């Protein structure tokens, strides 16, 4: 069917207004479960230090003679640990013209960009705190770095037979071995080790692949429907081991994909020398710059309070 002659259509029209939604859709993940779960503490220097202490092993032969002179027991000394600070930032820059013109979806371009940069910065910090990274003091040409959680957690761990464990004090990194599929026996073993050493992890931090592996463990083999035949629950959110350790499993996008951490939030802290803060940078022309900066480190109060499974297969 032909269009009647001289009919004015949108194809030839000049001046039709654009149809642009006033909403900006962004589904980029912004959760930082580890950073959100651990308490904050204050750092006062570029080298943040703390101490740990261990009691002597329990004795089954602590018997003394009646009326005997008391024998002095050897003192147990503390261990001094440290982690260097790191500095992370994000910077936004917007021209004067862009800030002034009418925009869809936001009133201020600078405010929009700064909100996005803050979310990105928190994700960066979460990633740094959880990664396998040794501390670096830094100098005038080398950025300082803080050690991540995997560089500390050593005692209560399951690793591949050909892997090399870190020293457990943040000075070096764990060297990966041959990847292994996650097994329930690994989980029971590291949680039992933590219990033996006085630890009580309550938070499991793991990526989506390892979280799905938990659903295949023997204890979760029976799926439930909550009385609704159209709904099947195939998820393990709380894991209770044979010793009664109760761990809440939290999927985290920033945790290394080949690692499962079991954390006691009481014994790990986010130490800040300068907390998240934004400020204006010097104006050098017809644009404005703002910086968000945080200076921080990870304080692993006592690594024996936590556990980890390393060198896991990721597919």
- Per-residue pLDDT tens digits for 76-86: 999 999 999 99
What's the CATH code, domain 33-52+77-222+233-309? 3.90.1690
**Does 199 have pLDDT greater than 90?**
yes
215 confidence band (pLDDT: 50, 70, 90)? confident
Alpha helices in 131-249 (DSSP H): 184-196, 208-214
Share of the chain above pLDDT 70, in %: 95
Q: Is 178 strand, coil or helix?
A: coil
Residues 130/150, Cβ–Cβ less than 8 Å = yes
pLDDT, tens only, 272-308: 999 999 999 999 999 999 999 999 999 999 999 999 9
81-90, 135-144, 191-200, 217-226: which has the minimum mean pLDDT? Answer: 217-226
The distance in angstroms from the start CA to the end CA of the chain is 57
Q: Position of tokens 């690994």?
A: 186
Q: Give dist(CA 17, CA 51) in Å, integer.
A: 67
DSSP 30-81: ---HHHHHSPEEE--SSEEEEEE--PPPP-S-----TTPPPPPPPPPPPEEE
* Confidence at 270, pLDDT banded by 50, 70, 90: very high
Domain limits of the chain? Answer: 33-52+77-222+233-309
Residue-wise pLDDT tens digits, 96-112: 999 999 988 899 999 99
Query: Cα 28 vs. chain centroid, distance in angstroms?
Result: 17
Helix (H, G, I), strand (E, B) or coil at 312: strand
| Alpha carbon distance 195, 187 (integer Å) | 12
- The Cα-based distances of 208 to 122, 250, 259 in angstroms read 20, 9, 11
């Amino acid at each position: 069917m032909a269009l009647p002659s001289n009919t004015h259509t949108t194809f030839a029209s000049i001046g039709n207004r654009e149809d642009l939604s006033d909403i900006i859709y962004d589904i980029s993940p912004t959760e930082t479960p580890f950073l959100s779960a651990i308490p904050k503490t204050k750092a006062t220097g570029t080298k943040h230090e703390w101490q740990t202490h261990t009691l002597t092993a329990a004795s089954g032969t602590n018997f003394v003679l009646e009326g005997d002179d008391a024998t002095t027991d050897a003192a147990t000394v503390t261990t001094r640990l440290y982690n260097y600070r790191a500095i992370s930032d994000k910077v936004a820059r917007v021209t004067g013209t862009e800030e002034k013109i009418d925009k869809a979806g936001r009133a201020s371009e600078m405010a929009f960009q700064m909100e996005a940069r803050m979310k990105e910065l928190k994700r960066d910090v979460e990633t740094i705190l959880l990664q396998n990274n040794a501390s670096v003091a830094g100098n005038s040409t080398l950025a300082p770095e803080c050690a991540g959680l995997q560089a500390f957690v050593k005692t209560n761990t399951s690793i591949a037979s050909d892997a090399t464990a870190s020293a457990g004090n943040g000075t070096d990194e764990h060297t990966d071995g041959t990847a292994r599929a996650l097994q329930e026996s690994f989980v029971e073993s590291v949680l039992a080790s933590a219990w033996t050493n006085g630890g009580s992890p309550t938070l499991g931090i793991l990526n989506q692949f390892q979280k799905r592996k938990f659903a295949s463990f023997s204890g979760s083999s029976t799926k439930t429907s909550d009385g609704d035949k159209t709904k099947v629950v195939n998820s393990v959110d709380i894991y209770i081991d044979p010793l009664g350790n109760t761990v809440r499993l939290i999927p985290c996008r920033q945790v290394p994909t080949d690692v499962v951490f079991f954390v006691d939030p009481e014994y790990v802290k986010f130490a800040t020398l300068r907390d998240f803060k934004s400020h204006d940078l010097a104006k050098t022309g017809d644009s404005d710059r703002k910086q968000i900066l945080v200076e921080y480190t990870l304080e692993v109060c006592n690594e024996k309070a936590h556990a980890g499974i390393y060198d896991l297969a990721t597919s």
